[in-house]
Amino acid sequence: MSALPLDDLIATRGSVILTGSFASSNAAGGGVLYTASKHAVLGPVRQLAYELAPDVRVNGVAPGVAATRLRGLTTLGRGITESVLDGTELALPLRGSPRRQRLCRRLHPARVRGRKCDDGFHGDGRQRVGHSRDRQARRSGWAPTPRLRRTTSPQGAVGQEGTEDTMELYDVMRTTAAVRDFTGDPLSDEVLHTILDNARFAPSGGNRQGTEIVVVRERATREALVELTLPGARRYMAQRQAGEGPWNSVEPTSLTAAEIASTDVPDSMTAPLLNASVVPVVCVDLRLVASLDRELDRIGVISGASVYPPVWNILLAARNEGFGGTITTMAVAEEPRIKRLLGIPEAYAVACVVPLGKPVKQVTRLTRVAVSELARRERWDGERFGV
């Protein structure tokens, strides 16, 4: 460590990567000495990050568990031990990721079969253990209190200080499903704040950032939202049952008002509003949206692009935090009533209602069309895009 070329590192704004282990922040196989030596890597990563960031980027990597036999000090009564103990798989990273599931199955085939490895730890052996500190605070010599990043694991445990409890981006993107069944576990204001704090980095036209969110928790308001969901959902279901594209703006419906009014709405369309932990209602200030397609002879689509990116970021961030939800729009058919219910000003549009909570089941496989089915080269009649 003393051999670190500090001046050069700072002058070149270089980076330091120290290699630790899964055992740098976890107990597993290997015993006390092994784990102590690996934990000893974590301290320098944190301290160097504290002293050098942001001039020098400091990170630690923590290679994951390999099923192997570890040698201990025989003088201390430690012979050869297995690296994988019962329960190791529960501490493995990457909630619900297929890669993590495969690793879990390799480690403990019988234990994992009926159960997800789920905790909120990095799964591919790349746990980040370092973090940066504020440059001004460092310069002034003031040492801020270490920030406890409270992250709730699916088991309700609180994350460790300084660990970044995040999943791989592509794993999040490929496994963020529409969640409608919730366990009833709370999604705290703190976790929701973390979700929104990350979601707000979504783009908007001209970076006007017209999105505003009403965070609904009150039972009476949720029940009112259920009532407002029913008319739109009735027509949606009726059209679907009649083989029409529900609510599409191109082909008019052949159904009568009476037929629509007599259609049942499945519980799955309203229950999430009541069972979710929290129900954000997302709005957008239309004065801040450049609707470039507003004069075209079709329904506008561009306006939504200034509000749905943050909405989708909310769902990605929720997934990352071990939660989930669904974009719902049925209630928006009754927008004037939603606006009255929540006191939303005239110039705003309601984009969606997003029940969020802890999923009963984490889906890891989504059904989506292949790239070749959605992309083509150069022109509409060009060949399907593929590599």
H/E element holding 236?
helix 219-241
311: nearest Cα among 157, 172, 199, 228: 199
Task: Kindly list the distances between the CA atom of residue 347 and the CA atoms of 49, 210, 228, in Å, as whole numbers in the listed order.
Answer: 46, 11, 20
**Which region among 39-47, 219-227, 238-246, 322-330 touches ligand FMN (by CB under 6 A)?**
322-330
Which segments within 65-178 are labelled E, that is strand?
69-71, 80-82
Structure tokens at 312: 């989708």
- Between strands 15-19 and 57-61, the pairing is parallel
Verify binding: residue 364, ligand FMN, rule CB under 6 A: no
**Which region among 87-95, 97-105, 293-301, 327-335 touches ligand FMN (by CB under 6 A)?**
327-335
Task: Kindly list the distances between the CA atom of residue 38 and the CA atoms of 18, 27, 154, 165, 304, in Å, as whole numbers in the listed order.
Answer: 11, 10, 26, 20, 49
Residue 332 Cβ, how far from ligand FMN at the closest point, in Å?
8
Residue 246 Cβ, how far from ligand FMN at the closest point, in Å?
10
H/E element holding 320?
helix 308-320
Count residues near ligand FMN (CB under 6 A): 11
Verify binding: residue 374, ligand FMN, rule CB under 6 A: no
Verify binding: residue 320, ligand FMN, rule CB under 6 A: no
Among 329, 339, 360, 385, binds ligand FMN (CB under 6 A): 329
* Residue among 83 and 277 whose Cβ is closer to ligand FMN: 277
Contact mark string toward ligand FMN, 261..290, x via CB under 6 A:
--------x---------------------
Verify binding: residue 315, ligand FMN, rule CB under 6 A: no
Among 327, 337, 339, 364, binds ligand FMN (CB under 6 A): 327
- How far apart are the C-alpha atoms of 101 and 304, rounded to whole Å? 36
Verify binding: residue 330, ligand FMN, rule CB under 6 A: yes
Among 58, 62, 129, 177, binds ligand FMN (CB under 6 A): 177
Residue 378 Cβ, how far from ligand FMN at the closest point, in Å?
28
Residue 366 Cβ, how far from ligand FMN at the closest point, in Å?
5
Torsion of the alpha carbons at 317, 318, 321 and 322, rounded to the nearest 10: -140
Verify binding: residue 228, ligand FMN, rule CB under 6 A: no
Task: Kindly list the distances between the CA atom of residue 60 and the CA atoms of 21, 23, 24, 49, 113, in Å, as whole numbers in the listed order.
Answer: 9, 13, 10, 10, 32
Residue 4, classified by CB atoms within 10 Å of its CB into exposed (0-12), middle (13-18) or buried (19+), is middle
Residue 299 Cβ, how far from ligand FMN at the closest point, in Å?
13
Which segments within 253-347 are labelled E, that is strand?
279-285, 324-325
Among 178, 261, 296, 375, binds ligand FMN (CB under 6 A): 178
- How far apart are the C-alpha atoms of 158 and 363, rounded to whole Å? 23
Among 326, 334, 344, 357, binds ligand FMN (CB under 6 A): 326
Residues that bind ligand FMN (CB under 6 A): 177-178, 180, 269, 326-330, 366-367
